[in-house]
Structure 1
Amino acid sequence: MSAHEVELDVLRIAHGGVAVAELDGRVVFVADTLPGERVLARITDDRHDRFWRADTVRVLAASQDRVRHVWRAASVDRAPEHRAGGAEFGHIAPHRQRALKRTVLRDALRRTARMPDAEIDALDIAVAAAPGEADGTRSRTRVRLHVDRDGRVGPFASRSRRVVPVQDLPLAVEPLEALLPGRARGRELELVAAGSETFAAGPREQRPAVVERVGDRTFRLEALGFWQVHPAAPVVLTAAVQQAIDPALLDPDADNLDLYGGVGLLAAALAGAQDVRVTTVEADAAASAHAAHNLADLPRTRAVAARVDAFLAGGVARPGATVVLDPPRSGAGIDIVRAIAASGPAQVVYVACDPVALARDVAVFAEHGWGVDRLDAFDLFPNTHHLEAVARLTPR
């Protein structure tokens, strides 16, 4: 054991795909383990007084929920600096992955949103398994890889910019794995499976728009534009948003909003089969133009190309609306939440891909008299720490 290696008993899970141990009264965030294990870990960051960071070097006492990693390139059998990033839960049995994600979500609501335990318990939170492979492989239709100076291709190692060359991509759908090159030029490579198309492209490469199908509706989007990564995610989130909307609070004639609307997926979910008035707001002009095309058959929808903050600052939001928002991973933020709450909507349906960001925004809503009365979570990023959540908030 070197001076920088320590034995640790892993206590609990933390946000970000790492677990928590303690050493001489200090918190240590440890990668590539899970609660209940004892590991030999290498300290990688001891600059902070309150916490250190460490990588698992060897598992001394394994949890019963540890499994062979789904991606050999990311396995604990490799030295930490040579482990592929992007599959930080791949050594954990799927049912335990979902349980840990539920714990992280509940902790975020308690610690960051400051919700009482009784309110959290009343939500009866469960993390639903995503459709597809039982072990969570073959679940990504879009993969971003990096290229090192020698042209070798792979992901970065976790928390670094070191490219780990790989020969397989078990988390990607099979057609994408077939596109994995041995060598490439440039700095990044995007592998995309869209509809019946598959292709590899540099991040600035211009390609024709692609088409994705969700149920009986098609959505046109930029080839390298944003779209949900899991093959089932658009269908799952469409259904989740529709189920989260309280029909008693939905006024079809109100100025209903879809904020951070992309190419119109959730605007279509909000419009549903009813004649609902919806404005979808998206800062990316190309995505907004696609939204206008994708929603053209819904006569009471319109697409506005604008930043959400600028749109709301214009005072166009009206009382009584249903607001759907799907902000970036960082969340909507204080100013956006305050503007939404001030406009007096009937309900807000919030689609989140980060539990702590969701909890921060829930805390701001709470300051304005709003609370969460429904919360559904989905494991649409299996073998990683990420999850999607759909919350309904209403005035108290």
Structure 2
Amino acid sequence: MLDLDVERIAHGGVAVARHEGRVVFVADAIPGERVRARVTDAGRDRFWRAETLEVLDASPDRRPHVWPEASVDRAPEHRAGGAEFGHVRMPRQRALKGDVLRDTLARMGGVERDVVVEPVDAALAPGVDAEAGTGWRTRVRLHVDDDGSVGPYAARSHRVVPVRSLPLALAELEAIAPLAGTAVGASAVDLVAPSDAPGEVVVRMPGDRRDDAATRTIVERVGERRFTLDRDGFWQVHRGAAATLTRAVQEAIDPARFDPAADNQDLYGGVGLLAAAVGDRFGAGTRITTVEADARATEHAGANLADWIGARALTDRVDRYLDRLAAEADAAARGFAGATVVLDPPRSGAGRAVVERLVALGPAQVVYVACDPVALARDVATFREHGWELESLAAFDLFPNTHHVEAVARLAAIV
């Protein structure tokens, strides 16, 4: 056992303390606290990992955990995972996320920038308890143990733990979740609540594969606009996230640089959410190409973007697509040099190859939507190596009671 004075928060939702000069990453603690912790991984020279067993001197920002089954009162091996900030008051949660984003950008991206993480506008997320950070998840995956027990994984493990509540989920999903039942033979149980239909329980069996011919579609709404997608396809999890990002991308685009006739791009475009955001702001004549590797998502994007004559949806890997564009001698003449690019890569980020290809093509501006501070900072550093700078940054708390944060950045070449 160690008694630790917690110094700061680290990326990933764990806090940082020191013991005899060695860094200790400790879970379920808040900077400023003194905790008693058990070391779980001492096999590294540079740092250890530990779990809080008892809070000796609590932060004024500590509160009873919003998910009792994840509370520090439980033994660490029985704490439900997925709500690692649930013991922290909401304003401090957002401040901690801002600290991580600011520090990561400075350390890895070379950019000093104050960051304020904004809550989701209550008007965009009806039914969500913004003060508690609960009732926002429209999609939840539960796992199934060998004996058929259904529940989340314990924190930092792949062990199913029984729970009686799912406070981060929409109330309608929590009400139908089979927490007291069994699903012998199943691999997982998904809870899904689309905008235009009741919540649904979907039992997954080992070896299940997506069957394009039989895939069920759902409809999600963002304001007055409807988006069709596969029930198993990607959509933002927070009830108000899609609307929040739509507004944020629209506000991030510099209208003085935007040319509706240019070869504007929505890369990693999914079913067309952010391409639609661009079209809605700049009008039906806007040219925009959305590129997505998932063929089913591209099919839906084509239909979802039918309002714009100049919209098209392509199935392709973004890196290969940009390679082909760069190989075309008339790429600049086609309008890419004056284009606005919306970039919404997976958690791993766009990566050096994609960023370098983009800057070589010379768009007017890039609006980068990021769900991981490290990936964003790394890609910002690559942009800066090639003469681009971070011009604006907004951050949103789309995953309350977790360490995750979403950011929307605008980058442009230094003139």
Question: Normalising by the residue count of structure 2, what TM-score does the alignment of the two structures yield?
Answer: 0.91
Partner of 1:296: 306
Partner of 1:7: 3
2:188 maps to a residue whose letter is E
2:244 to 236, 240, 248: 236
Q: Deviations over 1:273-301 (max 9, x none)?
A: 41210000000000000000111121110
| 1:223, distance to aligned residue in structure 2 (A) | 0.4
Residue 198 of structure 2 corresponds to residue 197 of structure 1: yes
C-alpha RMSD of the superposition: 1.1
Cα 1:315–1:207 change in 2 (3 A) is: closer
Partner of 1:176: 173
In structure 1, C-alpha distance between the alignment counterparts of 2:45 and 2:338, rounded to whole Å: 49
Partner of 1:264: 272
In structure 2, C-alpha distance between the alignment counterparts of 1:111 and 1:145, rounded to whole Å: 36
2:138 to 138, 141, 156: 141
Q: Deviations over 1:146-173 (max 9, x none)?
A: 1101111111112211111112101000
In structure 1, C-alpha distance between the alignment counterparts of 2:391 and 2:198, rounded to whole Å: 40
Partner of 1:379: 397
Partner of 1:43: 39
Partner of 1:69: 65
In structure 1, C-alpha distance between the alignment counterparts of 2:30 and 2:221, rounded to whole Å: 38
Number of positions where the alignment pairs a residue of Structure 1 with one of Structure 2: 386
* 3-state SS in 2 of match to 1:160: coil
In structure 1, C-alpha distance between the alignment counterparts of 2:150 and 2:384, rounded to whole Å: 46
Residue 107 of structure 2 corresponds to residue 126 of structure 1: no
Partner of 2:100: 104
- My pick for the range that moved more, 8-17 or 196-205, is 196-205
Equivalent residues in 2 for 1:313-352 (5 A)? 313-315=323-325, 318-352=336-370
In structure 2, C-alpha distance between the alignment counterparts of 1:251 and 1:353, rounded to whole Å: 27
* 3-state SS in 1 of match to 2:173: helix
Residue 295 of structure 2 corresponds to residue 285 of structure 1: yes
Partner of 1:188: 188
| 1:34, distance to aligned residue in structure 2 (A) | 0.7
In structure 2, C-alpha distance between the alignment counterparts of 1:324 and 1:207, rounded to whole Å: 28
In structure 1, C-alpha distance between the alignment counterparts of 2:349 and 2:202, rounded to whole Å: 29
In structure 2, C-alpha distance between the alignment counterparts of 1:202 and 1:321, rounded to whole Å: 44
Equivalent residues in 2 for 1:216-227 (5 A)? 216-227=224-235
Partner of 1:157: 154
Q: Deviations over 1:81-134 (max 9, x none)?
A: 00000000000000000000000000011111122x3xx24xxx2110123312
| 1:271, distance to aligned residue in structure 2 (A) | 1.4
In structure 2, C-alpha distance between the alignment counterparts of 1:19 and 1:42, rounded to whole Å: 14
| 1:207, distance to aligned residue in structure 2 (A) | 4.7
Q: Which runs of 5+ in 2 are unaligned?
A: 123-127
| 1:178, distance to aligned residue in structure 2 (A) | 1.5
In structure 1, C-alpha distance between the alignment counterparts of 2:165 and 2:28, rounded to whole Å: 20
Partner of 1:212: 220
Q: Which runs of 5+ in 1 are unaligned?
A: none
1:90 to 83, 86, 109: 86
Partner of 1:18: 14
In structure 2, C-alpha distance between the alignment counterparts of 1:197 and 1:295, rounded to whole Å: 25
Kept in 2, the 8 Å contact 1:167–1:180? The answer is: no
| 1:188, distance to aligned residue in structure 2 (A) | 1.2
| 1:339, distance to aligned residue in structure 2 (A) | 0.8
In structure 2, C-alpha distance between the alignment counterparts of 1:155 and 1:366, rounded to whole Å: 41
| 1:138, distance to aligned residue in structure 2 (A) | 0.1
- My pick for the range that moved more, 176-185 or 38-47, is 176-185
